[in-house]
């Protein structure tokens, strides 16, 4: 017996992924299990059966019927969340470090989505059932600006804008060492690490990924940089900076110098989504927002300057 099909909307971050990889990640099953579901006709893309090797595109709707699966119900939870901008169509939040964006296998509650559902008059819609309104994601350890749509049309428009690279996102990061040049463009494909499937990496055959880097301040053994992801892959900035031999300070997955993070008082990656710019889907007005560094990163940067 199968539960009602779950609907997943392909975000700009997921665009280009193989169908079996996308279904596995979204449905919380292995890639092999996803392939079996696709072969059994339990996965429909835009209402049609597709090959497991087909590539998903931003805005596509993928329906997955999981056998014997109980439908998960999202619960509203009283979790504080700072709203930077809000109107009838969308809102922009300043996500704190440590807050997971949406429920997932092994983390069913206590997320940003649960927090937003508790806000009267701000029940987000659009996207798939477990990620209502979420246009793009931030890693749990990353703080900063995120867009959330309140209706299907806004979600669809923003997803397309993100895929078209019309949403500008700028991050601040403190990295290990000093880059050789003040500006650089890292153009390297990203995919699952063949040695550790829980990690991403620069791999042959990965999805095209581009990040622009500008050095803002050079310090004795670190540098404050501005990172602008042109594409939007999972862990993109962290992976690209690590591949350039300048990983984000405090990154326990891709970093190298844990003693440095400890010396600076960091218990999470020094990565913050500081600026966001996009055209409002309904009004056409340009929305430009900034989010200052949170106190823990301010303190870490001050410590880095005095080393």
User: Is 237 in contact with 184 (CB distance < 8 Å)?
Assistant: no
Q: For residue 295, give every residue at least 6 positions away whose Cβ sits within 8 Å of its Cβ, in sequence order, or none.
A: none
Q: Which of 55-64, 111-120, 201-210, 233-242 has the lowest mean pLDDT?
A: 111-120
Residue 226 clears pLDDT 70, i.e. is over it? yes
Say if residue 71's pLDDT is above 50.
no
- pLDDT value for 94: 96
Residue 177: is it exposed, middle or buried by C-beta count within 10 angstroms (0-12/13-18/19+)?
middle
Q: So what's the pLDDT on residue 72?
A: 55
> Is pLDDT of 15 > 70?
yes
For 32, the token pair is 């092999």
Give the pLDDT score at 66. 77
What is the model's pLDDT at position 278?
97
Mean pLDDT of 101-108: 68
Q: Which long-range contacts (CB under 8 A, 24 or more apart) does 246-249 make?
A: 246/175, 246/176, 246/177, 246/178, 246/179, 247/175, 247/176, 248/173, 248/174, 248/175, 248/176, 249/174, 249/175, 249/176, 249/222, 249/300, 249/304
Q: Which of 139, 251, 291, 296 is catalytic?
A: 139
Q: Average per-residue pLDDT in the chain?
A: 88
151 is catalytic: no
> Does residue 187 have a pLDDT over 90?
yes
Q: How far is CA 253 from the centre of its chain?
A: 16
Could you give the CA distance from residue 172 to residue 179 in angstroms, rounded to a whole number?
A: 15
Question: In this prediction, what percent of the chain has a pLDDT beyond 90?
Answer: 53
Q: Give pLDDT tens digits for 111-165.
A: 888 888 887 555 556 655 667 788 888 988 999 999 999 888 898 899 899 989 9
Q: Which residues contact 245 (CB under 8 A, 6 or more apart)?
A: 177
157 token code pair: 């428009």
Spatial CA neighbour of 19 closest among 57, 47, 69: 57
User: Can you tell me the distance from the alpha carbon of 130 to that of 101, in angstroms, rounded to the nearest whole number?
Assistant: 10
Say whether pLDDT at 85 is over 90. yes
Quick check: pTM over 0.75?
Answer: yes
Q: What is the pLDDT of residue 212?
A: 98
At 99 the pLDDT is 86
Domains along the chain with CATH numbers: 6-64 (3.10.290.10), 82-163 (3.30.2350.10), 168-279+281-305 (3.30.2350.10)
What is the structure's pLDDT at 246?
A: 98
Mean pLDDT value of segment 43-66: 88
């Amino acid at each position: 017996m199968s539960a009602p099909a779950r609907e997943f909307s392909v975000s700009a971050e997921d665009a280009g992924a193989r169908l079996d990889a996308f279904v596995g990640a979204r449905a919380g099953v292995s890639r092999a299990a996803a392939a079996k579901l696709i072969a059994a006709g339990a996965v429909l893309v835009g209402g049609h059966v597709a090959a497991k090797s087909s590539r998903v595109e931003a805005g596509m709707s993928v329906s997955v019927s999981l056998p014997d699966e109980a439908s998960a119900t999202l619960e509203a939870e009283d979790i504080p969340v700072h709203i930077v901008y809000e109107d009838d169509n969308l809102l922009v939040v300043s996500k704190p470090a440590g807050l997971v964006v949406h429920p997932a296998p092994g983390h069913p509650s206590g997320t940003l989505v649960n927090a937003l559902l508790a806000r009267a008059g701000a029940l987000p819609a659009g996207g798939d059932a477990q990620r209502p309104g979420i246009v793009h994601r931030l890693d749990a350890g990353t703080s900063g600006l995120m867009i959330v749509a309140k209706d299907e049309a806004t979600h669809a428009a923003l997803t397309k804008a993100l895929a078209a690279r019309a949403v500008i996102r700028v991050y601040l990061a403190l990295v290990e060492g000093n880059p050789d040049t003040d500006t650089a463009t890292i153009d390297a494909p990203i995919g699952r690490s063949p040695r550790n499937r829980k990690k991403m990496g620069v791999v042959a055959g990965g999805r095209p990924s581009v990040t622009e880097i500008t050095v803002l301040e050079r310090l004795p053994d670190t540098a404050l940089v501005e990172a602008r992801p042109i594409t939007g892959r999972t862990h993109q900035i962290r992976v690209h900076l690590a591949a350039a031999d300048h990983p984000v300070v405090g990154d326990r997955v891709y970093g190298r110098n844990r003693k440095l993070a400890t010396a600076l008082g960091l218990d999470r990656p020094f990565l913050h989504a500081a600026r966001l710019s996009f055209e409002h889907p309904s009004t056409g007005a340009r929305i430009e927002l900034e989010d200052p560094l949170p106190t823990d990163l301010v303190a870490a940067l001050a410590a880095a300057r005095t080393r």
